[in-house]
């Protein structure tokens, strides 16, 4: 539905422009079909997690493993204390958004089958989570005393990012950088907008492509703009 597709959210700055872990891009390109299937149950033990903390590479791998299992309690020791609460809140908010997005995708398929629902898909947000992106290719690890950096690429042709770690009491922790205080709440606002759109579509037997685009523009686009504003906010000067 090229003529009826709402404008895709604009590109957002890279994390090196001082807003930390979020957000590289939302829906700039057609993302992979569907949301992640979240695994349930306790995080599984692995060689990486057995060595996490003492090894920079193992800490990176263990963080990604625990996130894949949504083992948020297990993530806690490997996140810098000053960023821990906001980052975990953000990851939980993104889970909420992805679940809402999945519901909207299903509702679009039913209410407007002639439209490709991926035109409105926000699954690509996962690829904006730096260390927790779906497909992250490590380029190199660097250690300099108590500071560590992992350079990685998002996808095969995506942006190159630099993930910062710090050694505390002999163990490596992830330092995501500045996270705006309202970032997680803005992500949840987008999820609520998607839920409202899903409700409207579920109560509508059929909707035209222009009508679908209007629903998205009314219920989701304003919230995405506010999310971008939060994501690009700068830390207060000390």
Q: Of 67, 20, 73, give the one whose Cα is nearest residue 48.
A: 67
Range 84-90 contact pairs with CB under 8 angstroms and sequence separation of 24 or more? 86/179, 86/181, 86/183, 86/184, 87/21, 87/176, 87/179, 89/184, 90/21, 90/22, 90/179, 90/183, 90/184, 90/187
Count CB neighbours of 73 within 10 A: 11
Task: Give one word for 35, left, alpha or beta, with left for phi > 0 and alpha for psi -120 to 50.
Answer: beta
Q: Please write the tens of the pLDDT for every residue from 150-188.
A: 999 998 778 899 999 999 999 999 999 888 999 999 999
The fraction of the chain above a pLDDT of 70, given in percent, is: 78
Looking at residue 35, its pLDDT comes to 33
pTM of structure: 0.78
Query: pLDDT tens digit string along 89-136?
Result: 999 999 999 999 999 999 999 999 999 999 999 998 888 889 999 889
């Amino acid at each position: 539905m090229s003529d009826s597709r709402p404008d895709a959210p604009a590109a957002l700055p890279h994390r090196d422009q001082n807003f930390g872990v979020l957000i590289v891009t939302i829906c700039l390109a057609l993302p992979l079909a569907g949301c992640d299937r979240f695994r349930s149950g306790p995080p599984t033990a692995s060689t990486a997690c057995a060595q996490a903390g003492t090894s920079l590479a193992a800490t990176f791998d263990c963080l990604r493993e625990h996130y894949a299992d949504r083992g948020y309690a297990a993530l806690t020791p490997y996140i810098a204390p000053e960023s821990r609460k906001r980052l975990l809140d953000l990851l939980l908010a993104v889970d909420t958004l992805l679940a809402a997005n999945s519901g909207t995708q299903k509702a679009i398929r039913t209410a407007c089958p002639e439209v490709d629902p991926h035109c409105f898909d926000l699954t690509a947000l996962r690829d904006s989570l730096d260390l927790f992106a779906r497909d992250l290719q490590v380029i190199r690890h660097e250690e300099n005393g108590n500071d560590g950096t992992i350079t990685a690429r998002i996808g095969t042709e995506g942006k190159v990012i630099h993930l910062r770690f710090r050694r505390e009491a002999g163990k490596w922790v992830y330092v995501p950088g500045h996270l705006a205080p309202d970032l997680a709440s803005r992500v949840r606002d987008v999820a609520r907008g998607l839920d409202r759109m899903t409700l409207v579509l579920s109560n509508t037997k059929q909707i035209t492509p222009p009508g679908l685009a209007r629903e998205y523009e009314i219920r989701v686009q304003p919230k995405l703009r506010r999310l971008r504003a939060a994501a690009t906010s700068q830390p207060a000067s000390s």
